[in-house]
Amino acid sequence: MQKRVLGNSGLQVSAIGFGCMGLNFGYGPATDRKEAVALIRAAVELGVTFFDTAEVYGPFTNEEVVGEALEPFRDRVVIATKFGFDIESGKQGGLNSRPEHIRQVVEASLKRLRTDRIDLLYQHRVDPDVPIEEVAGAVKGLIGEGKVGHFGLSEAGVATIRRAHAVQPVAALQSEYSLWWREPEQEILPVLEELGIGFVPFSPLGKGFLTGAITETTQFDASDFRNVVPRFNADNRKANLGLVDVLGVIAEHKQVTRAQIAIAWLLAQKPWIIPIPGTTKRHRLEENSGAASVVLTQEELATIQAALSVATVQGERYPAHLQQLVGR
């Protein structure tokens, strides 16, 4: 697989990474551990070198699976994880980015990941009670000790990015970005380009919607968080199918899939964008990874842009209580 570099950081990764969250968290029942380990190792075989996890996924179990899966390949891969929440009685609590807490999380994550360093450490969500300069300073200290390689932010706003970057260079910002969530284009992408920061879009397939496998009648597992996402109520799903239809026409013409078109579109936006689609299925992993070799022509990109210009995506991407945690 082709490689890309996260901004000016020098951190080189596969053009498409693997978001591991869904193996244990968020999208229904957890995948059998042996199957999850096998899937992650299959990604390595396909040339994926960039793996994303977080202590809160599970909590803890996702890091444990990633650590077990990647231990034999540690020097061939880049592991990213995140801090930023209190975890109480095995459940996600409130925000916590106090420097002493960051250090505790890193020590615990290192053990679960079976490694001596975290290649990319993200603040999972901005903590309004802790100045970002203190957060960046804490990570800078861990980088100096060799326990962390690079600093990242997730779902942070422009002002926070600038303030953090002034203390410790930010290698990457992770936020949602896809054909049906393009808000980062307004302010985030220009700032990242100016500062030389890479961009790691999660949910590049619109939480599965852009694949065409989800319709207004689809029923999600009771533990699937899409049940509370406004964009996924039945009426909004029905209203948003027009964009999926356009992807289908282009995909059929190129003899690829809608998912591959959606990922290829992201790759075409900037050379420092590295999407991290997730899956629990081997054939979807192969499909997503194959998008790295799909090149969209200027005519195809123009067709997609024309469809986007007239398509108004219905529904918010988060329920209100989660929306409050982003863009700070």
Catalytic machinery residues:
57
**Cis before 59? omega within 30:** yes
Residues 6+ apart with CB under 8 A from 33: 65, 68
**Which among 179, 201, 197 has a CA at the least distance from the CA of 277?**
201
- Radius of gyration of the chain measured on its C-alpha atoms: 19
Token pair, residue 55, equals: 């202590």
DSSP state letter for 30: P
> What is the identity of the amino acid at 135?
V
Q: Which two tokens stand for residue 215?
A: 């319709």
Nearest alpha-carbon partner for 152 in 185, 178, 118, 115: 118
Distance of CA 256 to the CA centre of its chain: 23
DSSP output for 98-128? -HHHHHHHHHHHHHHTTSS-EEEEEESS--T
N-term to C-term CA, the chain: 35
Amino acid at 319: P
Token duo for residue 198 = 């890479």
